[in-house]
Every structure is written in structure tokens, then in C-alpha cells.
Structure 1
Amino acid sequence: MSAEEREAARGMMRKGELGRSPAEQRAEFDELFANLPLGDDVTLSERTLGGVPALDVRVAGADRDGLILYLHGGAYVIGSARTGANLAAPLSRRSGVPAVSLEYRLAPEHPFPAGIHDALAAYRELAGQNVVIAGDSAGGGLALALLLAARAEGLPQPAAAVLFSPWTDLALTGPSIDARDGYDPLFSRPNMAESAELYLGGADPHNELASPLFADLTGLPPLLVQVGTAEVLLDDSLRLVSRAAEQDVDVSLDVVAGAPHVYQYFAGLLPEADEALDHAATFIKNRLRDKSVGGVA
């Protein structure tokens, strides 16, 4: 990625204004992301998983064994199954694995742990199948919380999890929250604190299901974490990977210099975004194959 490409990518983002209502934030986010073209080879259809609304993301020719359960980003306040399809579809296309994007409940109407309850309900219906969990930003944090909740319930772990710029620390204790503020075109500590307050609804930000960074990660499946350095959430990924490695979790990390939050959205514009999705797709195929052959729990 050239310096010009990095600057252009960051220039397409801007920090949101503080104090806007969730409805205002959702309307702006949907205007930007809810109608992006997915490709003529993609068909969306409504379904439910464990009683939770979802979208089947069917890409022509993506008929490998297994399933990608995608959890969308949006700071737990905005976003939808449709915006999640923007990344679920290219993952499905590149891996050949069908995908489902979940419409979990959002804060502040449904604060923590409502989203986790929805993700767990959906996963219960899939548990024991050949599944990979994937998510971006808050959806990445929710994916980790789902793994922890499934472990606590005694459910089998999925084959793997793919995390794009995951938000893993709602207590905002990472040094990059402040050190990267001027570099991150999208978020700042005040932005993140506002969203965390809406989601937590008074709950402890150190609760491991709200901030999986603080959890015992032992026994989780293989993780792939991708993050850019132009992110206040950089340390949410770096510290997660370090803790996972210390606790004998198979973990891989991709860091792209100068890339913004969830840079995979820039596929087709930034080579690193396409490379990231290709790597994630290969990871998904390999982990599903390993579980199918080896019966990994």
C-alpha cells in the first residue's frame, strides 16, 4: 500500500459527531453501507437461527461443506445483517463456503448482554456442524464473547474465528486509544466511550463477555486477527493475540501499516484489503478441513 493509497483510504472516513441519537447514527450508517452492491452472483434471503433473524448470503458456486456465521460491526448500536453481508459475501465467494449474517439486537434498546444471547441462540442451532464464526469491530468482540459463552454452556467450539479489527476492551485501557487518536480517521476515545456506555447500560466494562480481552481464552479454537495501524483499537488486537498465545490458543495476526479500521471494506481499491480477504478465506477453508478430518472440538 503506497502512502497515497493509505491517505486516500483514511480520507474516505471521518469521525462521527458526538451526542447523536442511535436513530441518527443508524440512518447515516445505512445510507453508506446498507445498499452496497454485493455482486450479481449473490442472493439474500431471510431466515432465522435459534429464533434470531438472519440473512442467508448465497453466492453462486459457494457450496463447500461448512458455514460462516457472520456478526456485523457497528459498536453494538448500529449495523444490520445486511451491512454484515458486505463482508460475509466476499468471504463466501473467496472460500466457497456459504454464509449467514445475523441480525442480533442492538443497544441502547437492548443493552449487554442481549446481543450475546442472540448470537448464542443462533449458534446453538449450528453447534456440532462445521462452522466458522467471523465478525468485524464490535462483531469481532461479539464473536469472541460467543466462543466464551458457548464454552461455558458446554457446547462444542466452532472450527475457527476470523476477527477484523475486533473491539475487545470496552474499558478502553489500550494505549493506542489515545496514542492513535490523531491517526485514526474514524474513532477517538470519546466516540468509543459513548458507544460503550450505550451498550453496557451500566454493566461492568471488565466483564469478560463485554470485554473478551480480560477472559481466560484457554480452549478457544484457532483465531485469525486482522488489524490496521491507523486504528485506536490497534491494541485491542495486539493484546488479544498476545494473551491467546500465552494461553496456548492457535492464533494468527495480520497487521497492515497505515490501514484504517476494518480495511477489508476497501477490497478492489487497496491491494492489502483483497489480500486480507484472500488470507481469511484460505484460513476458513483450512480450518473447516482440519475439523472435518480431525474432529477438532
Structure 2
Amino acid sequence: MINSVIKPGAARGVAAARRLISPLGPVGGVSLRNSLRPSVHAGSATARNAPDFSEPDFLFKLLFNTRGYALGSHRFFMDSAVALLPTPKGARYRYSRLAGVPVMWIGGYEKKGGPLLFYLHGGGYVMGSPRTHRSLSAYLCRASKAKGLVVDYRLAPEHPFPAALEDVLDVYRFLVKNGMDSKNILVAGDSAGGGLTAALLLAIARENLPMPCAAHLMSPWADLTASRRYYRFMRHRAKHVVDWGADAMAAMYVGESDPADPLISPVYGDFTGVCPMLITAGRSEPLRHDGRILAEHARSFGVDARFLPYDGPVHVFQALAPLVGSAEALIERAGAFFIEQLGQ
């Protein structure tokens, strides 16, 4: 069950998050690559909105339970709070650019000639960065025995669709056209990054580029046309994810485009020839529907698409791997899937 015991030694990270945002109050400016000016609507943050730090999903409640805060403030919370999650021992990071796009490399777990984990971070297409996902992506690299590459794609609303997809496709194209064996590439993403992973696979197929070995989608946001129906239905189950406004994030990302475009909502795409996928989601989280439907849809095109639901409402539960043992176990399952597909 999700209500797992927090790992020994994780209390310091919880305490650091408590100091960061308790009491919740106005946040000042922060220099981020895709940042809007942070601002706070007067009187919006009250004690009753503060998350319960004893709960495993306290970080997600922190991010999504601050109604009234402007987008820049949500970005600040995500950049500051999620970045507090400890990284696994041995992880090394460096930053560079590929095809003009900022990327973060993760080392420490790979073998010579081993696979590359091509990671796309979540954040509703409007927030998040490689830095916010340093922990989650490194845990997945360790489980997969892979070197990591996290793409710092452009965010909406400053850069609506197709900017994010263009960035990740440019980096993937650069890799395969400069000697990287696509069968040694593993693609993964969480939430919006999971949806972007599916969109990337569709774009790779459309361009007849070499397909990666396999993909792992964690709680993918794969149908931006259905967010109202799903989120109203699930509001009582995962209120902290819903309150800030999935519809608002979708509108920022979609812009003037059609939300039913398969490169925005991959559940409407043609998955012919796409690589095997492992899709995970909580049994009672809002995006469980997207994950299940995406897996069923991909299987209708002959894809080996596996859907693995886990107990509970926590969105992208794997992000809590430093704190909760069962979250780390999910990452180990994904690593085993990747190693199986690589034939190792």
C-alpha cells in the first residue's frame, strides 16, 4: 500500500521541506530558465492548506495545494522542494547542450558500451527541469545500469506546443545521427514527461528514425482532451493534484493547437512499429485512466505495452524513492523491464 513507512534517515529531507515552506507565505523572485515573475494573491495561503509532512505524498500536496499562487511561485516551490529529495549514492551530474538544447548528464552507474536513459521530466508542461528530477532520474539510471540524459525542454506558456516536442526530438535525432545505437537508448518520463515520451515515440515513427529499445511511462498525461471529465471524477481521490488546475496547464501547453492532435494527446496516435512500453500509475490517481487507455490503445497496434497499476492515489509515486521503500521497488521493476528488453 502507499501508506508505507518512510525510510530511516529520510527525516532530514522532510524537515528541510518543512523549514522551506512552513508557514506558507509569499515567495520572492527566482532565476529559472523558464520562469515567470513569481507573485502571490493576497490571503491565498492559510494553515489549512499546508501539507501533512507525515504523509508519503507531502511533496505533491505542497506543489499542488497552493491555490491562488501564480505560475512562477509553483515553479519556485517545485524547484526548491522537489530538489531537496536525496539522490542515490554515486550519482554524478554535469550540464551541456545537444542540438542547442540544454541537457543534464547523469553518470555513476553505467558500464562501457551500456545503455543511455533518455529522460523527460514532468511538471504539467509548465514547470520542472532536470534539476527537479535529479533524484528520480538517477534512481532509474541506477536500476537500469544506464548513463542518463535529462532534456531541459522549453516550457509553456512562454513556449507552447510544439516547442517541447521539437526540443526532445532534436536531441534524439542528434544522438542517432551521430553514432548512438538506438537499440541502446531507453526513454522514460513522468506525468507530462510520460505523455511527451509517448509523443516522441510517435514522432520518431513518423520520421522513420531508428526506434529506441524500450520506454517507461510513469503516470503519463496522455489525453489532454479528457482532463475535465477525468479530473472531476477523481477530484475526491487526489485533490492536491487537481486543485491548481490541470485544465489551465493543458490550455497553456496546447495554445492554438488542437488538443486531439496525437502529438499532444498520444492516446489518439498510430503506434505501429513503436517499441515496448511499461506504463505505471496509481490505482486511484487521476492519470490512471490515461495510463490504462494508452496501454490498451498501443496494444491495438501490436505494441508490447504493459500497464502496471500500484495501490494508492500518489501521482508519480516513484519520485518518493529516497523516502519510501515501495516507491524504490517500483523503480527496480522498471529497471528490470529495461534490462529484459536490452537482452542483458
Q: Confirm or deny a common fold (TM above 0.5).
A: yes
TM-score, normalising length: structure 2: 0.78
Q: Taking every aligned residue pair, what percent have the same amino acid on both sides?
A: 35
Match of 1:81 among 110, 130, 135: 130
Structure with greater Cα Rg: 2
Cα deviation for residue 52 of structure 1 reads 0.9
Secondary structure in structure 2 of the residue aligned to 1:45? strand
| Mapping 1:194-233, distance limit 5 Å | 194-233=248-287
Cα deviation for residue 288 of structure 1 reads 2.2
Structure 2 residues without counterparts, runs of 5 or longer = 7-53
| Mapping 1:30-179, distance limit 5 Å | 30-60=79-109, 63=112, 65-127=114-176, 128-129=181-182, 130-172=184-226, 176-179=230-233
Contact 1:264 1:274 in 2 (8 A): yes
Match of 1:264 among 287, 312, 318: 318
The CA distance in 2 between the partners of 1:212 and 1:19, in whole Å, is 31
Pair 12,45 (structure 1): closer, same or farther in 2 beyond 3 Å? closer
Q: Does 1:247 align with 2:296?
A: no
After TM superposition, the structure 1 stretch with the greater mean CA deviation from structure 2, 114-123 or 8-17, is 8-17
Deviation digits for residues 84-139 of structure 1 (CA, Å, limit 9, x no counterpart):
22211011112211111110001111110000000000000222431011000000
After TM superposition, the structure 1 stretch with the greater mean CA deviation from structure 2, 136-145 or 80-89, is 80-89
Deviation digits for residues 68-90 of structure 1 (CA, Å, limit 9, x no counterpart):
00000000000001122221101
Letter of the 1:219 counterpart: G
Cα deviation for residue 179 of structure 1 reads 2.1
The CA distance in 2 between the partners of 1:87 and 1:11, in whole Å, is 16
Letter of the 1:260 counterpart: V
The CA distance in 1 between the partners of 2:311 and 2:288, in whole Å, is 11
After TM superposition, the structure 1 stretch with the greater mean CA deviation from structure 2, 7-16 or 186-195, is 7-16
Secondary structure in structure 2 of the residue aligned to 1:112? coil
Cα deviation for residue 47 of structure 1 reads 1.8
TM-score, normalising length: structure 1: 0.90
Cα deviation for residue 43 of structure 1 reads 1.2
Secondary structure in structure 2 of the residue aligned to 1:13? helix
Match of 2:327 among 268, 273, 281: 273
After TM superposition, the structure 1 stretch with the greater mean CA deviation from structure 2, 57-66 or 72-81, is 57-66
Deviation digits for residues 191-212 of structure 1 (CA, Å, limit 9, x no counterpart):
1101001111121111111110
Contact 2:109 2:141 in 1 (8 A): no
Contact 1:225 1:241 in 2 (8 A): yes
Letter of the 1:211 counterpart: S
Q: CA RMSD in A?
A: 2.2
Letter of the 2:119 counterpart: Y
The CA distance in 1 between the partners of 2:131 and 2:230, in whole Å, is 30
After TM superposition, the structure 1 stretch with the greater mean CA deviation from structure 2, 170-179 or 30-39, is 170-179
Q: Does 1:287 align with 2:336?
A: no
Letter of the 2:195 counterpart: G
Aligned residues: 290
Cα deviation for residue 49 of structure 1 reads 2.2
